Chain A
Amino acid sequence: MSVAIPLEAYLRAQRAIGRKLLVPYITGGLPGWEHALRAAASAGADAIEIGIPFSDPVMDGPVIQQASQLALEAGATPISILRQARDLDVGIPLVVMTYYNTVHHAGHERFAQELEAAGISAAIVPDLPLEESGPWCLAADGAGIETVMLAAPTAPDHRLPLICARSRGFVYSVGLLGVTGERTTLAATATSLAARLKAITDVPVLVGVGVSNAEQAVEAVQVADGVVQGASVVRRLLEHGAEAVAEYVAEVRAALDHVPA
Chain B
Amino acid sequence: MTLMAEPSATGRFGEFGGRFVPETLVPACQELEAAFREAWADVAFRDELGSLSREFAGRPSILTECRNLGAKLGIRLILKREDLNHTGSHKINNVLGQTLLAKRMGKTRIVAETGAGQHGVASATAAALFGLDCKVYMGAVDVERQELNVFRMRLLGAEVEAVHSGSRTLKDAVNEAMRDWVATVGDTHYCLGSVMGPHPYPWMVREFHRVIGDEARQQSRERYGCDPDVVVACVGGGSNAMGIFSGFVDLPVRLVGVEPAGGAAVGRGVPGVVHGMRSYLMQDEYGQVQEAHSISAGLDYPGVGPEHSYLASIGRAEYPAVNDAEVIEAFQLLARAEGIIPALECAHALAWIVREAPNMQGKYVMMNLSGRGDKDVAQMMEILG
Minimal beta-carbon separation of A234 from chain B (angstroms) = 16
Taking the closest CB of chain B, its distance from the CB of A252, in whole angstroms, is 25
| Also in contact, A104 and B24, with CB within 8 A (given A77-B286, A129-B19) | no
Question: Given the known A-B contacts A56-B166, A61-B179, A177-B185, are A159 and B22 also in contact in the complex, defined by CB atoms under 8 Å?
Answer: no
Closest to B184 in A: A177
B-side contacts of A197, CB under 8 Å: none
User: In the complex, which range does the number of interface residues on chain A fall in?
Assistant: 35 or more
**Bound state CA distance, A126 and B28, in angstroms?**
16
Q: Quick check: which of A12-20, A145-153, A211-219, A242-250 contacts chain B, the rest being far away?
A: A145-153
Q: Is B20 within 8 A of A100, CB to CB?
A: yes
Residue numbers in B under 8 Å from A152 (CB-CB)? 22-24, 26-27
Assess whether B171 is in contact with A56, with CB atoms less than 8 Å apart. Answer: yes
A105 near B185 with CB under 8 A, answer: no
Q: When chains A and B are docked, how far (Å) is the Cα of A131 from the Cα of B281?
A: 22
A129 touches B26 (CB 8 A): yes
Query: Most chain-A Cβ atoms within 10 A of its Cβ — which of B22, B175, B178, B281?
Result: B22
When distances are taken between beta carbons in the complex, the residues of chain B under 8 Å from A150 are 22-23
Query: Is B213 on the interface with A (CB-CB < 8 A)?
Result: no
| Subset of 29 A-B contacts with CB under 8 Å | A54-B288, A56-B274, A56-B289, A58-B175, A69-B165, A78-B286, A101-B272, A104-B272, A105-B283, A105-B287, A106-B287, A126-B22, A126-B23, A127-B20, A127-B21, A127-B22, A127-B276, A129-B20, A130-B26, A131-B10, A132-B20, A149-B23, A151-B23, A152-B22, A152-B26, A154-B26, A154-B185, A177-B24, A179-B183
A177 touches B183 (CB 8 A): yes
Which residues of B have CB within 8 Å of A2? none
Within 8 Å of chain B (Cβ to Cβ): is A55? yes
| In the complex, chain A residues 129-185 whose Cβ is within 8 Å of any chain B Cβ | 129-132, 149-156, 159, 163, 174, 176-179
Min C-beta distance of A193 to chain B, whole Å: 11
CB distance from B289 to the nearest CB of A (A): 4
Q: Are A174 and B24 touching (Cβ within 8 A)? A: yes
Contact bitstring B224-259, A, C-beta under 8 A = 1, else 0: 000000000000000000000000000000000000
- Whether A65 lies near B24 (C-beta < 8 A) is no
B21 engages A129 (CB within 8 Å): yes
A-B contact count (CB 8 A): 115
Complex interface residues of chain B between 161 and 199 (CB less than 8 A to chain A): 165-166, 171-172, 175, 178-179, 182-186
Provide the bound-state CA to CA distance between A128 and B278, in Å: 12
Residues in chain A near residue B271, CB distance under 8 A: 104
Which residues of chain A come closer than 8 Å to B288, judged between CB atoms? 54-55, 72
Residue-wise interface mask of B (73-105) relative to A, using a CB-CB cutoff of 8 A (1 in contact, 0 not) = 000000000000000000000000000000000
Q: Which residues of B contact A100 (CB under 8 A)?
A: 20, 273
Q: How far, in Å, is A257 (CB) from chain B's closest CB?
A: 31
Chain A residues with CB under 8 A of B202: none
A127-B22, A129-B21 as given contacts; A58 in contact with B179, CB under 8 Å = yes
| Contact A155-B287, Cβ < 8 Å, known A56-B166, A59-B182 | no
Distance in Å from the Cβ of B9 to the closest Cβ of chain A? 10
Rounded to whole angstroms, the CA-CA distance of A150 and B165 in the bound complex is 25
Find out whether the CB atom of B286 lies under 8 angstroms from the CB atom of A174.
Answer: no
| B179 and A154 form a contact (CB under 8 A) | no
Which of A54, A59, A149, A154: most chain B CB closer than 10 A? A154
CA distance A100 to B20 in the complex (A): 8
- Interface residues in B, total, Cβ within 8 A: 37
Among B23, B172, B178, B273, contact of A101 (Cβ-Cβ < 8 Å): B273
Closest chain A CB from B302 CB (angstroms):
9
Q: Provided the pairs A55-B166, A56-B171 are in contact, do residues A154 and B24 lie with their beta carbons within 8 angstroms?
A: yes
CB atoms of B286 and A179 under 8 A apart: no
- Contacts A72-B288, A102-B287 given; indicate if A65 touches B165 (C-beta within 8 A): yes
Give CA–CA (A130, B10) in the complex, Å: 12
Within 8 Å of chain B (Cβ to Cβ): is A79? yes
Inter-subunit contact A104/B27 (CB<8 Å): no
Q: Closest residue of chain B to A60, judged by CB?
A: B179
For the complex formed, measure the closest distance between the CB of A85 and the CB atoms of chain B, giving whole angstroms.
16
Within 8 A of A (CB), among B21-35: 21-28
- B117 at interface by CB-CB < 8 Å: no
The answer on a CB contact under 8 Å between B182 and A177 is yes
Complex CA distance for A69 and B175, rounded to whole angstroms = 14
> Is B371 in contact with chain A by the CB < 8 A criterion?
no
Q: Is B18 an interface residue (CB 8 A)?
A: yes
CA distance in complex: A105, B271 (Å): 8
Instruction: Determine whether the beta carbon of A58 is less than 8 Å from that of B178.
Output: yes
Of the candidates A61, A79, A106, A155, the one whose C-beta lies within 8 Å of that of B23 is A155
Give CA–CA (A152, B24) in the complex, Å.
5
Shortest CB-to-CB span from A219 to chain B, Å, is: 20
A166: min CB distance to chain B, Å: 12
The residues of A that contact B182 with a CB separation of less than 8 Å are: 58-59, 177-179
Residues of B within 8 A of A78 (CB): 286-287
Given contacts A101-B274, A132-B20, A151-B23, contact A177 B287 (CB under 8 A): no
Q: For the complex, give the distance between the alpha carbons of A197 and B23 in Å.
A: 15
| Whole-angstrom distance between the Cβ of A197 and the nearest chain B Cβ | 12
Q: Given A59-B179, A154-B27, 4 more contacts at CB 8 Å?
A: A102-B286, A104-B272, A105-B286, A129-B22
Which residue from B19, B28, B175 sits with its C-beta under 8 Å from A132?
B19
- How long is the Cα–Cα vector from A179 to B175 in the complex, in angstroms? 11
Chain B neighbourhood of A156, CB < 8 A: 27
Question: Cβ of B283 and Cβ of A154 under 8 Å apart?
Answer: no
Give the CA-CA distance A61 to B28 in the complex, in Å: 20
The 5 closest A-B pairs by CB, nearest first: A105-B287, A178-B183, A152-B24, A55-B288, A152-B23
Neighbouring B residues of A178 by C-beta, 8 Å: 179, 182-183
CB neighbours (8 Å) of A159 from chain B are 26-27
A57: chain B residues within 8 A (beta carbon):
175
Greatest chain B CB density within 10 A among A55, A104, A178 is at A55
Our pick among A72, A131, A177 for the contact of B19 (Cβ within 8 Å) is A131
